[in-house]
Structure 1
Amino acid sequence: MNRLSIASTARALFGLLALSATTTFAAPGEHPDIDLRVKACTGCHGAEGRAAADGYYPRIAGKPAGYLYNQLVNFRDGRRQYPLMSGLLQTLTDDYLQEIARHFSALDLPYPPPVRSTQKASVLAHGERLVREGDPARDLPACASCHGSALTGVAPALPGLLGLPHDYLAAQLAGWKSGIRHAHAPDCMAEVARKLNAEDIQSVAHWLSSQPVSQGGKPAAVLEKPLPIRCGGVTEAAR
């Protein structure tokens, strides 16, 4: 294990201890103060959920509340695999997770400028084409057709794709493709990711991570068009 991995694990373990302490000493039906409760989250996801510097813990501040809640439930219930997250959440109720999701969703914090890509123009062009247009020949919908034309997500349950590091984006797409990551059925992202090859995944991740965040990163209120594919965990309000 390298020094960076050790540091990340130590932060997560500290967060696990902090959350365990707050839940242990809370009276039945009583939640501790929200700032204390989310220390476990910010231990890995960075101050106020702005993202960690190592490229694997994503920004959670300002994400749609429905999306954040779905991910917390997915970790707790085993659809997403990461032992530290599962350990943090396994005893928490739906109401508790909704409060945490609403807290981070309400944060309105600026995004840092993107890291300039060193990839070839052809790699970035391929990624942009898949994001903006998809690939009809492979029945592959554009990322923008679900995540919004500004790529900042759609309330209440579709996340933005900008302001995320390359390593995180590539790892999540690969996880869906390999079957490591799952979402509520029907799992639309798994269906999409299975149609991507390694070059596609890298190109999309490189292009997205190199783009500035538009409209302050705020998700759109409604979809511009109906979703091109059925997606579990997306409420009727977002369809």
Structure 2
Amino acid sequence: MFGQTISAPDTMEARVQPCTPCHGAAGKGTNDPYFPRLAGKPSGYLYNQLLAFRSGRRKYPPMNYLLQFMPDDYLKKISDYFADQRPPLPVATANEVSQAVLAHGEAIAKQGDIERGLPACVSCHGANLTGQEPAIPGLLGLRATYLSAQLGAWRYGTRTAIAPDCMQIVAGHLTEDDVRAVAAWLASVTAPADASPAPANSYALPFACGSQPSGDEHK
């Protein structure tokens, strides 16, 4: 009827629609290799990243601007929403790299390199690379381009976390060839049927990490 006011539903699904163009419906990701999937990642990890963008620790102007006036409790609600989403992971991508490069990446991811003080990716991100609650992200369903960019950011200090900054320490032991190999191999891994993060305390981390487990980045 004329003059009738129709209100949109006030739900988190409606409120996070501005995230959709970059991160996909329900955070499932898009075809753009530089914007990551958010769905199913631990809420604590997502919350840490939102805090980091809001404070400027992670620098990406659209995210810094979008989050600058959002309070902690609202960022937590956003994190909880995306953590609860479970759309299927995308199909693993083919890589234009040699089998030798993939083998090198797999060796680092599964075994690390003791002589270089480099722990295996699985020692923190889990045997299935699906992460661990409350704040360790899974590494599957991401494109090699994105993974390489993030490892590079950790290596060069343009992405940081509260001390001890475990990823910056780990990435500092990686060479450019290591980064290329690890990113290519991770992007090629087929996800397990259940890609949910492992429950908290399912396994111990190899060293202290400032972002675990509370993620109090705003202190």
Q: Is the structural similarity TM-score above 0.5?
A: yes
User: Mind listing any 5+ residue stretches in structure 1 that lack a counterpart?
Assistant: 1-31
**How large is the RMSD of aligned CA atoms in angstroms?**
1.2
What pairs up with 1:119-134 in 2 under 5 angstroms?
119-134=97-112
Structure of higher RCO (CA pairs closer than 8 Å, 6+ residues apart): 2
Aligned: 1:170 with 2:148: yes
Selected match of 1:229 from 196, 207, 210: 207
Q: Which residue of 1 aligns with 2:132?
A: 154
Q: What is the TM-score with the length of structure 1 in the denominator?
A: 0.83
Fraction of identical pairs, as percent? 49
- Separation in 2, partners of 1:42, 1:54: 12
In the TM superposition, what whole-angstrom CA distance separates every residue of 1:92-117 from its partner, at most 9, and x where no partner exists?
A: 01100000000000011111211122
Distance 1:223 1:203, change over 3 A: farther
1: CA distance, partners of 2:140 / 2:157: 24
Structure 1 Cα separation of the partners of residues 140 and 86 of structure 2: 15
- Deviations 1:41-67, CA, capped at 9 Å, x for gaps: 112111211112110001001111111
1:185 aligns with 163
Q: 2:187 aligns with which of 209, 229, 235?
A: 209
> Equivalent residue for 1:98?
76
CA distance in structure 1 between the partners assigned to 2:110 and 2:19 by the alignment: 32
Question: CA offsets, 1:17-70, max 9 Å, x none?
Answer: xxxxxxxxxxxxxxx531222012112111211112110001001111111101
Structure 1 counterpart of 2:44, one-letter code = G
User: One-letter code of the match for 1:96?
Assistant: Y
Alpha-carbon deviation of 1:169? 0.2
Q: Counterpart amino acid of 1:33?
A: T
* Contact 1:128 1:207 (8 Å CA) reproduced: yes
Paired residues of 1:44 and 1:52 also in contact (CA < 8 A): yes
TM-score under structure 2 normalisation?
Answer: 0.90
Greater alpha carbon shift after TM alignment, 160-169 vs 46-55: 46-55
2:176 to 182, 193, 198: 198
Deviation at 1:216, TM superposition (A): 2.5
Shift of 1:118: 2.8
Q: Which has the higher helix share?
A: 1
8 Å CA contact retained: 2:55, 2:68: yes
Contact 1:148 1:223 in 2 (8 A): no
Q: Secondary structure at 2:129's aligned position in 1?
A: coil
